[in-house]
Amino acid sequence: MGTTADRLATAYFDAIEALCRVTPKGWYAERGTARAGITHAGLASLNGVFALTTDPDLESLDALAIEVARQIPHWSIMVRGAAGEPVVDLAARHGLRERSVMPFLACATDDIVFRPVSTQQALVRRVGAAENDTYTDALTESFEAPEGSFGPLMGGAVLDTDGITGYLAEESDRPVGTALGMLTSGVIGVFNIGVVPSARGRGLGRTLTETVLRDGIAAGANAAYLHTSPMGRPLYESMGFALVENWTMFTAR
């Protein structure tokens, strides 16, 4: 029987599969316990090969890495936990020598610490596919990414797909923050939490996260997960999230 960490990791990879199958130009494949997904966004973390288990299947990772590298220049290999030398060597053979740690946090929904309802919640609304350009522009600004970095990621019918919910925070009719919830196997994944620089420091990031979580719980989720940056980690830990695993991602320098 799998562990809680296995269940949460599987939910994450199921979310990646769902996104790759619906985003324009997306591609997805499985081999053994390895998975691969391409979104054609310009960020390596959104195109890659993933090890589903903590004991990577090197042959399958290698085979899928060859397929991904043929299709897109910016990609990654991601494994759960610290990478052993065989994985480091495999990544290096594919030109991926930059290593980074991705903290994977999670919590049971009963353990989430919500603030009392605030007026900020009125600033957040759901968005559908008709507004994917507005959402993508806000996402780009919130993450201070170069224009075009997210490519077609949120295009097509992504924001109208069951289990995928996009959110915008707005002030004075201007988008100032984004969020994305992805519900798979009774688990809600929190993605794309970002606030434009001019609106930071006022709690909007927490409001966006709480909105995703509340909607996920209403839809039946009993657990939640996310990856976090060092800047966001104290916020998420104050909400009840705890480290499940540190994942390792390899990209080109």
Contact 148, 183 (CB under 8 A): no
- Per-position pLDDT tens, the chain of length 253: 469 999 999 999 999 999 999 999 999 999 999 999 999 999 999 999 999 999 999 999 999 999 999 999 999 999 999 999 999 999 999 999 999 999 999 999 999 999 987 788 899 999 999 999 999 999 999 999 999 999 999 999 999 999 999 999 999 999 999 999 999 999 999 999 999 999 999 999 999 999 999 999 999 999 999 999 998 999 999 999 999 999 999 999 8
Strand 187-195 with 223-227, pairing:
parallel
Q: Examine residue 199 and state whether it is found in any structural domain, yes or no.
A: yes
Q: Do 131 and 183 have their domain in common?
A: yes
Q: Do 162 and 95 have their domain in common?
A: no
Q: Examine residue 249 and state whether it is found in any structural domain, yes or no.
A: no
Helices in 94-181 by DSSP H: which ranges? 132-142
Q: Do 148 and 175 have their domain in common?
A: yes
Q: Do 88 and 34 have their domain in common?
A: yes
Q: 121: burial class by Cβ within 10 Å (0-12, 13-18, 19+)?
A: middle
Q: Residue 82 sits in which domain range?
A: 4-104
Distance CA 162, CA 27 (A): 19
Nearest to 224 by CA among 207, 241, 238, 237: 241
Q: What is the pLDDT of residues 165-175, one digit of tens each?
A: 999 999 999 99
Distance CA 192, CA 204 (A): 13
Tell which of 104, 129, 144 closes a domain: 104
Look at residue 117 in the predicted model and tell me its pLDDT. Answer: 79
Q: Do 115 and 189 have their domain in common?
A: yes
Q: Do 115 and 228 have their domain in common?
A: yes
Tell which of 104, 125, 152 closes a domain: 104
Q: What is the pLDDT of residues 140-197, one digit of tens each?
A: 999 999 999 999 999 999 999 999 999 999 999 999 999 999 999 999 999 999 999 9
